[in-house]
Every structure is written in C-alpha cells, then in structure tokens.
Structure 1
C-alpha cells in the first residue's frame, strides 16, 4: 500500500513538470518581444530600361501597394502616372519633363530607388509627306508619317481619306501654297467625299500648325471644312467662305454622311482669305453636313475664327472643346438644325475680336434677307433651329470687361435655337435676344426658341434685348419660373462650388466640387426627349466623369509634334 502511494506521488510530480514545460513552450511560441522584420519595398527591374516620354514601362519589385494611388513613383525626379499596380509590378507612363536617372518608388511608408538608371530616349524624327491639290484616290494616312498640307487640299466626291489613330497632320502657311495663291493649308471634304478620322482617347489625331513649338499662333493654317448634301437656307450660287471652290448648291439629304471625326484635335486654324476682307475659315467649318456623319470628342484650340461653325445641315455632335478661341465658340447659321450635347469652352480674356466675341452666336439670315416668318425644312429652306444641351462656357474668372467680348448667348435674326442645362460664366452680357416681331420675338413666344435650365454667372448685365425686343421683354422671358433659369449674383459665385482649376489656362479641370448645385437641377422632357440626348441630372458639361482625359491638350504651343 505504501509503495502504491509513492508511485502515485511520483506520477503527480511528473505530470506537474509536464504541464509547466508545456506552458513555458506555449509562452515561448507567442512571445512578441522579438517581432518579425517588416516586408521591404524594393525595385528589382525596369522594362524597358529606355523609352520615350509618353510610353509605358513596367517597374518590378516588392511590397508595392495594389492601389495605384497609394504608390508614388518618380522618374528622373518627375512624378509619373501609375496605370496599374500589383504588389510586385507597377505599370507607369514616362512623364513629360522626365530626365534620365534613377526610378524611385514610395509605398507603405518606405521608399526604394532603382539600382540602375532609366534612360529617357528621344524618338527619331518622323518623315514628312507633303500633300496638295485634289486627292483622286482612296488613301490611308499613318501615324509613322507627318502629313503637311500645302494650299487647299480637296477630298472629292466618291473618294475617302482614312487617318490612323495617333497621326499628325500639319497645315502650312500661305507662303507655302504651291499654286502661288497665298492659300494656307486646308483640308476640304467635298460632297460625297469622306473623311474617316477615328482617333482614340490614348492616340488622338492632331491637326496643327506647321510652325515650330513656341512660334505657333492663331490662324497659322486653314482648318477642316466638311461639305455635305443636307439642306441649308442660302441660294445655291452662294460662294463658300475662305476661298474654297464651289457654291453651297441646294440639297435635301438630311442623313448625308461626310465621314467620322472622333478623338481629333484641331489647333491654330482659321486663316483669313487673302483676297476678301473679313473672310476667314474656322477651326471646324460644316456646310450642309447631315446626321449620317459622326462627330464626337473634338477639340478646337486657338482658332482665329469661330471654333465650331455650322452652316445649315443636320449633323449631330457630342463632347466638344473650344479652347482659347478668337471669335465665337459655337456659331450656327444658314438653317442648321442638328443637336449638340456636352461641350466646354475656355477663353483667354486677353484675346478676342474687337467686334465682340460671343460664346454662342446664332442667326437665321443675314441682314435684310427673309426677315419674315420662319421657313420650313419641307421646302428645302430650313430655319436655324439647333438644340444644344449641357454646355459650359467660361470667359472671365474676374469681373468681365467690354471691348473684346459681348454675350454668352447672342441669338438674333429669326433664329430658333434652343439651349438647355448649360452654364454661361464671365461675359459682359449673359443673354442678348435680338430681332423682329415676326422673327426672334415670335420664336420666343412660340417656344421655337427655348432657353431652359441655364445658369448665368459673373455677368455684368444678365439679359438684354435688341431690335424690337426690349430689355424688359427679354428679361421677363428668361426669368419666368417655367424656364428654370438662374442668375448668380457676384456675391454668390462661390456657392457654385466650381473646381479650383476651372480657369487654369494650361491645366483646367472642369468637374464641379462635391455638393455643387450644378450637379442637380437639370430640366428634362420636351426637345430633350429625343433619343440623341443622354439623360443627365447635372447642368453644364460635366458631372463626375472627366471625358477630357487622355485625348485633349491645353499646351499645344509647346508640344513637339515632330517625333
């Protein structure tokens, strides 16, 4: 019995030692006094090791953030845009201004530098092909060549010019006209001809000045002219502007198709006609172009005439940019009756026409012509009656001055233009309604001319009349509750919550701040019920989507287009 008790005692002691040992082992396993080392951010490779500005490279390494915005990368000391990110790979764009040097990545509170130097390469100069005369062939222009327009260049009936994404086309000045007529380089698509210029958001097609960077200016070349077979309201023998051959003729093919312009920039255009005073082309000039034509994502910069000018026709357009125009931004005349949605204009307040530049200028006839009742499309003489929606037009950020500028909306001579959900900012006059009792005034009364959901801001005089329309009549019409228009007083401008970079001439950002009243309040129905229009709740050209990204440029004066 005694031996049994001793055995039990020994077993209890052994069990106690086992429990103590196990507990000690557990404590050792969970000891945090010696933490594991933190993962280290490193750069292990760059592919390729040499590339030009604007191209993408892949930076390999460790401990990157998978959220692109949580990484910061610099190339030669200049911050780069990150396209995509994983924990071991960053795809980035070589930024403008970058110099050869090390690549640096900051992520998770750590910074790593590449052991090797990245080289910013300089691409070879592209070959230049000179283009002149009438192009009697179906042609394709490619991005590996620069095309130089000399004199008036025509795409005639039944021929098509196709332009690849990323292609650069330059317009030469009047001194390089091969025919000795002092005509600047201009691309003209005649009736039944087609221009297929389909760029992309990453590879826009650019029409620009032939002058070197830093020397470019307003009206260095002619611009683009499209001529279609939709109706307009001028006699058939009316000459085309800017020395372009032929007359307007008379057609009624409202679905006419002159081709496609998508992701296209037109810079420094609008040359004057050498033999006719005050006769000039515009950035994009459209004569009788039909709705079979596709126009979207087009930027016109530094035009010495109007940015966009519609002479009759029915063509529709979306996502347009008018940048630093000399004359008007949006000009409609000669019976234009198409539809336009989403357009933004930014002006240089120091540059404009002594005759008075406008945001919109719309008229139906020239002085003394057909000033009576509106004509109809059925007899081939349509009334100017376009519909614009979601336009933002910015002139002065400070108090506007007269001299070079007149009106945000200048509507006259029997026009029946309708404008909806738009923002007009910084003009001496907000709206000028001008005309006769049977013309513009009658159109207001019948709602053929319709202005709704418009915000006027930073204007010296909100609404004025002209002709038989008095200031009181114009003001009563515009401010009637049913029109849902607003006039923002100078003291309340901050309430619009515009983006702080709205008026930055070299790097604008037009997206309103969160909570901006412009993000709501849009009118709907009526003419906006047309299937062409995208239904949105905001007023102006932008909600939360910046459709300018990638394809636009606000520094074309300094861009190297030769490589």
Structure 2
C-alpha cells in the first residue's frame, strides 16, 4: 500500500513539472513587445562654434532624410547638411543664442543635457595702405588691408601677400588726397607682386563696403605694368588715371610676379581724372611671359573682367563672373597664350553698347582707318592664342540690348581661338574689318578659329565692314575647322550640367555623353608646349578646377573675421 502511495506521489510530481515546462515554453514562444525607439542627443561636436559653421549632433532615432528632422539651436531652426540615424550635421544659424540643442524626429523631441555656445569670432585688425612705399612689403592673413586712393608698388620693390589674406579697395570718399579716387593697386614696371594663394586659402581683393552693400565698381582693381612690348606710341597714357605712360620696351621675358588662387571682386571703377576710361578687374599692361597667372577669378567688374594691353604674359584657369562689359579683352599688341577660362553672365546686367565674351582688336576707334596699324615697339598686331574657353550668357533665348557677340573680332586683330564654347549671345561670331586688316588676317591664316561651338544664338555668324555675312559664314564653316553651330532644337543634346546656369552655385561639368567632351582640334598653334592637350571643347572635361577656391556669392561673404 505504501508503495502504491509513493508511485502516485511521484506521478503527481512529474505531471506538475511537465506543466511548468510547457508553460515556460509557451511564454518563451510568445512574441515580445518591441521597445519604442527613443530620440536622444548624446553629444555636440564642437560645443562652441560661430554662426555659419557646421557642428555634428550624435544620438539615436534620427531620420536619414534631412528634411524629416527639425533642429533648433538656442531656439532658432538650423539648416541640416546631412543626416544618418545616429548623426546630424547642421549649420549654426544666424540669430542662434546660447542654450540647449533640440532635435525633433520620429514624432519625438529630445533636448541636449548640455548647452551649446555661439562663439563670437574675433575681428581682424585693419591696416590702411596709401601712396607709394619704397620698401618691400609682406601682407599677412591675420590683418585686413585697406587700399585708399592710388597705391603703387614701385620699381625694384616687391609686395608679397600670404595665402588667405583679404585686401579691400576703398571708395572715392576715402581717398587720402581728397581727389575722390577709388582705391587701386598698381604694380609698376620692375615692381613685383607675389600673391600665391592656395585652393584652401585664396587671396581676396574685394570691396570695402559691408555685406549686402557691395557693387561693381566699388574700387579700381588690380593693375600690373611690365616691360614687354606694347604697340602704342610711347606717350600713350594708361587707363583709369594710373600715373605714367606706356613708354617703349621689348623685354618679352619680363616678370611682374605671381597671381595664383586669387579673387578680384567689385573692381573696375571710373576715376574722376579719367571718367570714360575705366580700369578692368585685372588690367595687364605689357606684362611679360615670366609672370605667372593661374587660378584667378574676377567678379562684378564694372568694365571688362580681364584686359590684356600688349605684353606676352600667359594664363590658365580663369573665371569671369557677372561682369558689366567684356569678359576677355585683348588689345595693343597682346601676343600671350590663355587656356581654360569660364565666364558666367547675369543676363540682366551688361553694357548698353553691347557686351561681348571675347573682344580682340589692334587699334583704337577712329585710328588708322585706311589700313593696319604700323609696326611699333616690336609688335605689329594683337595676336594672342586662346583655347578651351566657355562663355555662358542667356540660358533662355537671348535678347538684343545689353549683349552683342560671344566673339567680336575687329581692327586688324590676328587672334587665334580653339576648342571653345559660346552660348546665349545675340550673335555668336562677329567679324569686322577692312581688306587690309581683319579680312587679310583671315585669308593668311594669321587669324584662326577651330573647334568652336556656337549655341543658342539669334544669328550665329555676322560680318561687317568688307566682311559680308556670307564670307564670314563660309570662313567659319570651312573644311577642317570642325566648327559647330548648334540649332535651337538641338540645345538639349549638349547635356549641360543641371546647375550650369545657377548664378550662386554653378557646376560647369558636362554630363557623360556630351558632344563637348570630344572633337577638339589639335596641331598647329595649339600644339605649343604651353597648352595642355585635351580632347574636349570648352573649359571643362571631368576636372572641376573651380572647386573650393572660387566664390559665387561674394555679396554675402564676411571678410572681416
């Protein structure tokens, strides 16, 4: 009987343990509720930064779509640059105050435990520069230099400017002589400027006006004068009230210094002593080929962006931005070489007399009407070589009024132009001249145009003077020139970048498959060792050489800090 009782007890124990195991297994198999994701902020890096800089916010449960997050810094909404689930990069907004950072994402709002501090950047000291300094100078990036009136770097002295330095040109009201002359920097013969900026720290010449108040012609601009030949009489005055005359020199290898990674903004004013004879953003008189010029941007010039008056200087990687008159002007016997230049225009701003992309001539209006200019100072005529230029005016149908031609060639110029693009001008190419001038240069081959693309023009080719429209058109379309006129119906085939005409943030790299990426003319003058051999037409292939050092919104840039 006792044995039966023990067996019964053991059976009850087994059943009890089985029930517990089944219950536990059932509990394990049942799905568990998923915890609700929690939005949180774990760190801010850096925790102190000035307005306009970027900071990184790390945490949890952020939306990977930047627009689906809302961030406030001291109560002011910030712009989100990039977003992942655990990291947001934002710009410290104008008006932000010291205080916590908050993030709203996924229907939740989190606030940082620590406060963010808006740093107040220090304002650089300002050093005024005036007159002529008979000493070598070195301008440093920790100081802003204010040019008042005409400032000259005379013969046998050198101005060295460190990367990242800002130089401001004062308006006429600050002329120390009381003559109402705007600030202008002039490098005289045998003087030198060594302005070697970098892509990360370009050297900037700009207006002395405050943010939002700057305009074309606020100051005079930058002028270099060398000892290479100019085909003008020795008594010819310089433009813009610059002292001295051209004189007679033929030192083709002259060296006026170096301009690399330099921006020149809001220059080209007229001066009271020369009201109709403006300087350009960068004006070059008789500058020799031992001078180095590359990576230079001229913005908002009230005259031409770049002006070559005689000389032999070469240049690469140039940017002309939102100028008033011509972008590339050559005159007075310039025979240098230029490659890779891009111009972007504001179609609402131009010269009522007719702004051009490239303008090249050899003598002044009303002069030498019966024939080419007589040989002077060792140079018979203007004969530069340009290659890989891109000019963009109207993105839509161009209108007549402020603009004339993408290429305007007259008065006995013997320019050669290769592998270049001109888009959105009323006229594409305008050839003007006499039988013994421009026409003779076309016939002899001294003037040479090959690999040219004209697009979005009202009249692709125009001739005036003794050059008829038919003669100009036949020349442009001649066998072996590989020139191209793109009809309005085919403009999309050029496959421009979507941001090509975006004034404040352009991107000029053509899309893959663009016909601009092939078809470049080779040989002849462009075979010169100065020129980089490329297969594309226009200023860009796949290398975005304007990246990082240019500025397409100088109106809003704070140059004081």
TM-score, normalized by the shorter chain, greater than 0.5: yes
Over 3 Å counting, the alpha-carbon distance change for 1:105 and 1:389 in structure 2 is farther
Q: TM-score by structure 1 length?
A: 0.85
Cα deviation code 1:161-208 (max 9, x no counterpart): 111111111111112111111110000000011111111111111111
SS of the aligned residue for 1:315 comes to coil
Alpha-carbon distance between aligned partners in 2 of 1:118 and 1:530, rounded to the nearest angstrom: 58
Contact 2:372 2:411 in 1 (8 A): no
Given that residues 52 and 94 in structure 1 are in contact (C-alpha distance below 8 angstroms), is that contact kept between their aligned partners in structure 2? no
TM-score, length basis structure 2:
0.85
Cα distance, 1:332 vs structure 2: 0.2
Q: How much does 1:47 deviate?
A: 4.7
1:27-38 to structure 2, matched below 5 A, reads none
2 CA distance for matches of 1:477 and 1:257?
Answer: 38
Quick one: structure 1 residues 118 and 485, their matched pair in 2 at CA, closer, same or farther if it must change by over 3 Å? farther
- Corresponding residue for 1:324? 322
CA distance in 2, matches of 1:98, 1:255: 54
The match for 1:436 is 434
Is 2:287 the counterpart of 1:308? Answer: no
**How many equivalent residue pairs?**
531
Name the SS of the counterpart of 2:173 in structure 1: helix
Aligned residue in 2 for 1:5: none
Kindly provide the CA deviation profile for residues 450-482 of structure 1, in whole angstroms up to 9, marking residues without a partner as x. 111111011000001111111111000001231
Partner of 1:484: 482
**Residues of 1 paired with 2:421 and 2:542: CA distance?**
16
The corresponding residue for 1:553 is 551
Which whole-Å CA distance do the structure 2 matches of 1:343 and 1:260 have between them?
18
Q: Which residue of 2 aligns with 1:508?
A: 506
Match of 2:225 among 206, 220, 227: 227
What whole-Å deviation, never above 9, does each CA across 1:258-317 have from its counterpart, x for those lacking one?
111111111110110213341111100000001111111111111001000000011111
Q: 2:383 — aligned with what?
A: 385
Q: Distance in 2 between matches of 1:150 and 1:302?
A: 20
User: Does the 8 Å CA contact 1:375/1:381 hold for their aligned counterparts?
Assistant: no
State how far apart, in whole Å, the 2-side matches of 1:258 and 1:73 are.
54
343-352 or 93-102: bigger deviation? 93-102
How does 1:387-406 map onto structure 2 within 5 Å? 387-406=385-404
The Cα of 1:539 is off from its aligned counterpart by 1.0
The CA deviation string for residues 425-458 of structure 1, in whole angstroms up to 9 with x for no partner, is 0101000011111211111112211111111011
Question: What is the match of residue 210 of structure 2?
Answer: 212
Q: Gaps spanning 5+ residues in structure 2: where?
A: 1-28
**How far has the Cα of 1:48 moved from its partner?**
3.7
Of the candidates 357, 360, 365, which is equivalent to residue 358 of structure 2? Answer: 360
On the 8 A contact 1:417/1:450 being kept in 2, the answer is yes
Mapped partners of 2:133, 2:425: distance in 1:
43
Contact 2:363 2:373 in 1 (8 A): no
| Residue of structure 2 equivalent to 1:244 | 242
Separation (CA, whole Å) in 2 of partners of 1:542 and 1:73: 38
1:117-137: CA deviation from partner (whole Å, max 9, x where unpaired): 544423122111111000211
Task: After TM superposition, list the pairs within 5 Å mapping 1:158-173 onto structure 2.
Answer: 158-173=156-171
The alpha carbon displacement at 1:535 in A equals 1.1
Q: Deviations over 1:500-550 (max 9, x none)?
A: 111111111111122211111111111111111111111111112211111
Greater alpha carbon shift after TM alignment, 121-130 vs 405-414: 121-130
Unpaired runs of 5+ in structure 1? 1-30
Conservation of the 8 A alpha-carbon contact between 2:268 and 2:302: yes
CA spacing shift, 1:199–1:42, aligned 2, 3 Å: farther
RMSD: 3.6
Distance of 1:514 and 1:41 partners within structure 2: 42
Distance in 2 between residues matched to 1:112 and 1:390, nearest whole Å: 54
1: distance between equivalents of 2:120 and 2:59? 26
User: Secondary structure in 2 aligned to 1:482?
Assistant: coil
CA distance in 1 between partners of 2:415 and 2:388 (Å): 14
